[in-house]
Structure 1
Amino acid sequence: MDLDRRSLITAALAAAPALASAQPDPAEVIPLWPAGPPGGGGQGLREEMVERAKPGQPADRAVTAVVRPKLTVFRPERPNGHACLIAPGGGYVRVVVDKEGFEFARFLAARGVTAYVLLYRLPSDGWAGGRDAPLQDVQRAIRLVRAATPATSSVSALGFSAGGHLTAQLITRFTERTYAPVDGADRLSARPDVAGLIYPVISMRPETAHAGSRRQLLGETPSAADTAAYSMDTRVTAAAPPTFLVHAADDASVPIENSLGMYAALRRARVATEAHWFEEGGHGFGRRGAAGKPAAATPELFHAWWMRQVARTQAQGEP
């Protein structure tokens, strides 16, 4: 039986203190590009993982200058067949692996979902793919996840902040060929069955954009054409998958207008959409930053909505 929103929020608030426990990283890691990223580039980069947490705090690692894009796999003890690709944020200048990646992956794995956390390349690091290097990585990643998932099960994509922009690119640009096929996985669709966008960067328009993400992706003075092309609310079509949105009204980094615009675009395209707007939470709250607030219900809300989409698809007899 589905829990209602109030029950989910109450359960999340009660469970919040459990986030502080340290857990080892999974040993299973899947490189995206066995022979190196498409087109090469990135010369002189030195990948570095920085621990930003103070002693006694939960891990808060961020990776800069990514040269080895990969998937870290969280396998459940009792898999239900479903899989989720997670793209953490970091303003397109770093990838925040713990609070927007590993913590959500552990939550989903505890519910039977095989979760894959994506470490993706960054757009201003000199790759041949340029600003589409992250899109190459997320397209390749979703295909690898789909190849490892039973055809009868659902594959979702979940993105946070700049990772939300990357996931929004995935759901609007999944038909675009951004790299030459590597193996059989690249014959599979890059469209996730459902998507979740958590306080996402959506717009590149100056009045609503996250300035850092815009600069890293498009440079200091982007053209009007590039601004429009990478504002993902302008790219939505009816082919986009069902999409879930979360944003806090007091987000001072990525204005809530990003999600409001995406929600309106999805609604215009008649794409199944659920949105939750919270009064407080700020930006980048992940799980730990929402503890004690209604936004702490975000993981439960997303998981319950996703499973409803699965049930609806199965009831309609769709593949």
Structure 2
Amino acid sequence: MSLDRRQLIAAGIAGAGVGTTTAAAAQAVAPPDPTETVRLWPDGAPGGEGVTVTPVVVERSTDPAYRDRFAQYTTDPLLTVVRPARPNGASLLLIPGGGYRWAVVDKEGLDVARVFAAAGVTCYVLRYRLPADGWAAGPDTPLQDAQRALRLVRARAAAEGLAPTRVAVLGASAGGHLAGLLAARTDATYAAVDSADALPHRPDLTVLLYPVVTLSDPFAHAGSRAQLLGPAPTDAAIAAWSLEQMDWRGAAPTILIHALDDEPVPPENSLMLLETLRRNEVAAEAHLFHEGGHGFGVRLIAGKPAEAWPALVLGFGQRQGWIGDPG
């Protein structure tokens, strides 16, 4: 790999706006947003006849050194492209969390993308539609966007001289549940739009960061379950949408990252899925950190052992043939 662990950590801290206590750091401002975006659905997202929501993007940070936005009520989903200085041929679709109530923009999106771009990976941050906003596809709505996004990333890789068979997905929290659906499910959830939809929609490598896995108590994230399936889902629906109960045969190599002190999404989520992956003979690796809580991304674990997770992902990806040295 082109960057060692210290360089990756430094890139993550710089990208997320974390600094020291010096006067220069006190004047730091968040890096500008990338300007390259890709609309998923040029003629409009499918099944929106009953949708009446108005999109909003909310800023939660009061510190100019970093941004912490979330997108809610998205109607025109898009990809934001974060390009490396020296592409190594690998691409990464990032699916941030938000409990299926909104989609985080920075913490598990652009901040993380900057770290992987520093290692030569071409990154795409997904802003996806949400299941409770009135879309005809209901709980399949965000998966429609994820499948379409993965196919577009694969098509762009082929067109740009990158490797169309080295397209990974990284999902965090509820975005990890969505990334897991993308990896596990083989059925297409929408009618083809263009030639990109002839390409495979399952990733070539899957990274799940403190993922929502099970929708069954006692380890379910109740908020994600309610947003996805409604306030009183049936036992059958809960089973059908729990990742650990799905058929993962033929899925891509998968790496799981979790903190043992994660209360909103307990680490049993990753442990349950790890057992399923082993049973289905999927190449898998799991890293459990003593501390980190939930939703740490890259900024909130600076100086802690869990800050090593991007380097661990890159090492796993290299061993699985996803990432190499920049050309």
Aligned partner of 1:166 in structure 2 is 178
Aligned partner of 1:317 in structure 2 is none
CA deviations on 1:253-285 (whole Å, 9 max, x unpaired) are 001110000011001111100110001000000
Give 1:11 deviation, angstroms. Answer: 6.0
182, 196, 203: which is aligned to 1:192?
203
Aligned partner of 2:21 in structure 1 is none
135, 145, 148: which is aligned to 2:153?
145
SS of equivalent residue, structure 1 residue 115: strand
Give 1:17 deviation, angstroms. Answer: 4.7
CA distance in 2, matches of 1:57, 1:28: 22
Aligned partner of 1:44 in structure 2 is 52
TM-score, normalised to structure 1, is: 0.92
SS of equivalent residue, structure 1 residue 301: helix
CA distance in 1, matches of 2:126, 2:305: 27
Aligned partner of 1:203 in structure 2 is 214
SS of equivalent residue, structure 2 residue 31: coil
Does residue 1:284 correspond to 2:295, yes or no? yes
Aligned partner of 1:266 in structure 2 is 277
CA distance in 2, matches of 1:81, 1:12: 18
CA distance in 1, matches of 2:322, 2:254: 15
Does the 8 A contact of 1:2 with 1:304 survive in 2? no
Aligned partner of 2:286 in structure 1 is 275
CA distance in 2, matches of 1:240, 1:38: 27
CA distance in 2, matches of 1:210, 1:23: 32
Aligned partner of 2:93 in structure 1 is 85
Structure 1 pair 236–62 and aligned structure 2 pair: CA distance change class (3 A): same
Does the 8 A contact of 1:123 with 1:133 survive in 2? yes
CA distance in 1, matches of 2:11, 2:82: 20
130, 155, 167: which is aligned to 1:155?
167
Bigger mean CA offset, 265-274 vs 11-20: 11-20
CA distance in 2, matches of 1:53, 1:241: 36
Does the 8 A contact of 2:89 with 2:323 survive in 1? no
Give 1:153 deviation, angstroms. Answer: 4.8
- Note the residue ranges of structure 2 that are not aligned, 5 or more in a row: 18-28
Aligned partner of 1:62 in structure 2 is 70
Structure 1 pair 311–141 and aligned structure 2 pair: CA distance change class (3 A): closer
Q: Which residue type is aligned with residue 238 of structure 1?
A: R
Aligned partner of 1:226 in structure 2 is 237
CA distance in 2, matches of 1:223, 1:245: 28
Bigger mean CA offset, 146-155 vs 189-198: 146-155
- Note the residue ranges of structure 1 that are not aligned, 5 or more in a row: 314-319
Give 1:312 deviation, angstroms. Answer: 10
Aligned partner of 1:107 in structure 2 is 115
CA deviations on 1:15-41 (whole Å, 9 max, x unpaired) are 665332521111111110111111223
SS of equivalent residue, structure 2 residue 182: helix
Does the 8 A contact of 2:317 with 2:323 survive in 1? no
CA deviations on 1:48-90 (whole Å, 9 max, x unpaired) are 0000001334100001111110100111121111100000000
Structure 1 pair 192–110 and aligned structure 2 pair: CA distance change class (3 A): same
CA distance in 1, matches of 2:36, 2:289: 35
Does the 8 A contact of 1:13 with 1:292 survive in 2? no
**Across the two proteins, how many residue pairs are aligned to each other?**
308
Aligned partner of 1:178 in structure 2 is 189
CA distance in 1, matches of 2:306, 2:212: 18
Report percent identity of matched pairs. 52
Bigger mean CA offset, 10-19 vs 128-137: 10-19
TM-score, normalised to structure 2, is: 0.89
Aligned partner of 1:125 in structure 2 is 133
Aligned positions of 1:22-41 closer than 5 A: 22-41=30-49
